[in-house]
Amino acid sequence: MTRNVTDDIPTILLPERVDSATSGSVGALIFAAIHPGARLIVDGSGVTWMSAAGVRVLAMAIHRAQELGTRIVLCSFSGPAADCLLVSGFAQLFDVAESVEEAKRRLAIHPTPTAGERLHLRRAAG
């Protein structure tokens, strides 16, 4: 797990496994980067396994980020880790990009929609 800063946007590269053994350190690293007005990329390109504990730490981080006005984009998740986000329904709540470059573009141009806005992208009733 590493933390890089490119284009003034911190990028956290997650470890291979994001589970109960690593979620504490993952959470600490992400929470340290959350502060009012910040932007953050969480790169999941190295993740091969994510448990419910991993999803939970990401959900807590997103919640805290919304409270403080930090914009977070998750990116580059694939395989079982992407499936975990999709099956849990959290992929609809998080701002998820295909790549670090796309995440940078989103953070540079577009404000991050709230969870409610992501759930109702088409402004459908319900």
Q: What is the pLDDT of residue 119?
A: 46
The pTM score is 0.79
Greater model confidence, 63 or 110: 63
Q: Is residue 54 part of a domain?
A: yes
Confidence grade of residue 124 (pLDDT, cut at 50, 70, 90)? very low
Q: Which residue has the higher pLDDT, 75 or 121?
A: 75
pLDDT at 13: 96
Q: Is 125 inside a domain boundary?
A: no
Number of structural domains the chain divides into: 1
**Mean per-residue pLDDT, 49-56:** 91
What pLDDT digit, counting tens, does each position of 53-107 carry?
A: 998 999 999 999 999 999 999 999 999 888 888 888 877 888 999 999 999 999 9
For residue 126, tell me if it sits in a domain: no
Residue 81 lies in a domain: yes
Task: Find the CATH number of the domain harbouring 84.
Answer: 3.30.750.24
pLDDT above 50: residue 120? no
Q: Which domain holds residue 84?
A: 2-119
Is residue 112 situated within a structural domain? yes
d(CA 80, CA 69): 30
What is the per-residue pLDDT across 22-39, written as a single tens digit (0 to 9) for each?
999 999 999 999 999 999
Q: Is 60 exceeded by the pLDDT of residue 126?
A: no
Is 86 among the domain residues?
yes
